[in-house]
Amino acid sequence: MKKEPIIPESRDPAFIEQVIKTPVGEKIPTCMQCGICAGSCPVSQEMDYSPRELVRMVQLGLKKEVLSSSTIWICTTCFSCSVRCPRGIHPTELMETLKPIAIAEGIKNRNVKFDNVFSDVIKTNGRASEFLLISKYSLTEPGMIKQLPFGLSMMVKGKLPLSIQRMENTRELEAIFNLGEKSREKK
Ligand code: SF4
Ligand code: SF4
């Protein structure tokens, strides 16, 4: 993927301060760019910036590039990078810290849309449903129409069940989501 050149004017010192003040931010300045996190990451080839690059970009205060990056949304929170980092930096938690900041800044990209659709489906049903996920995401992402033949072939083969399973009682789940929303508002 072609990356835009990073110019000094895009650096934002206030963003560095903002991230360093968070519970995972203290050790970010100690990153030595060893690359163990990127080498351990099972999905780094799908990201626009590897975990190593993202940490460096935070060090440099590249707010716009960091918050609009697909990396924070593609991370599967597998924790491989966090347990292996020799400096005790936690890239996994950094990704989770950056997500609400990106949302608060109004950053919109297709990864944010998918995250929102996934959360809505879980909040409503208590369980993921591939059919609901794909249908709802397709409504927000017009490019998904190209995947229609693939989706239909999966349905024919019984790989995309139309039945939707729901939790009997989603009250506790709703309470968890509400707590998350409240803590996001506080930030
Ligand atoms: S493993 Fe840790 S020190 Fe090494 S590049 Fe990644 S964040 Fe930096
Ligand atoms: S937690 Fe995220 S960034 Fe870290 S190794 Fe796993 S997928 Fe990659």
**Per-residue confidence in pLDDT tens, the chain, 187 aa:** 556 666 667 789 999 999 999 999 999 999 999 999 999 999 999 999 999 999 999 999 999 999 999 999 999 999 999 999 999 999 999 999 999 899 889 887 778 888 888 888 998 888 888 888 888 888 888 888 888 888 889 889 888 888 888 888 888 888 888 887 777 666 5
Atom 6 of ligand 1, residue of closest alpha carbon = 37
Nearest ligand to residue 57 Cα? 1
Go through the domains of the chain in sequence order and give each one's CATH number: 8-104 (1.10.1060.10), 110-169 (no CATH)
Tokens of 15: 């963003």
Nearest ligand to residue 85 Cα? 1
pLDDT value for 79: 96
CA 157 to chain CA centroid, Å, is: 31
Q: Report residues whose beta carbon is within 6 angstroms of any ligand 1 atom.
A: 31-37, 51-52, 55, 85-87, 89, 91
pLDDT value for 187: 58
Helix/strand number for the chain, H first, E second: 11, 0
Report CA(156)–ligand 2 centroid distance (Å): 34
Cα–Cα dist 126/168, whole Å? 9
Atom from ligand 1 closest to the CA of residue 56: 8
Counting ligand 1 atoms within 8 A of each CB, the residue from 41, 89, 92, 97 with the most, and so the one to mutate, is 89
Tokens of 102: 């990106």
Q: What are the C-alpha distances in Å from 134 to residues 43, 125, 142, 155? A: 21, 15, 12, 12
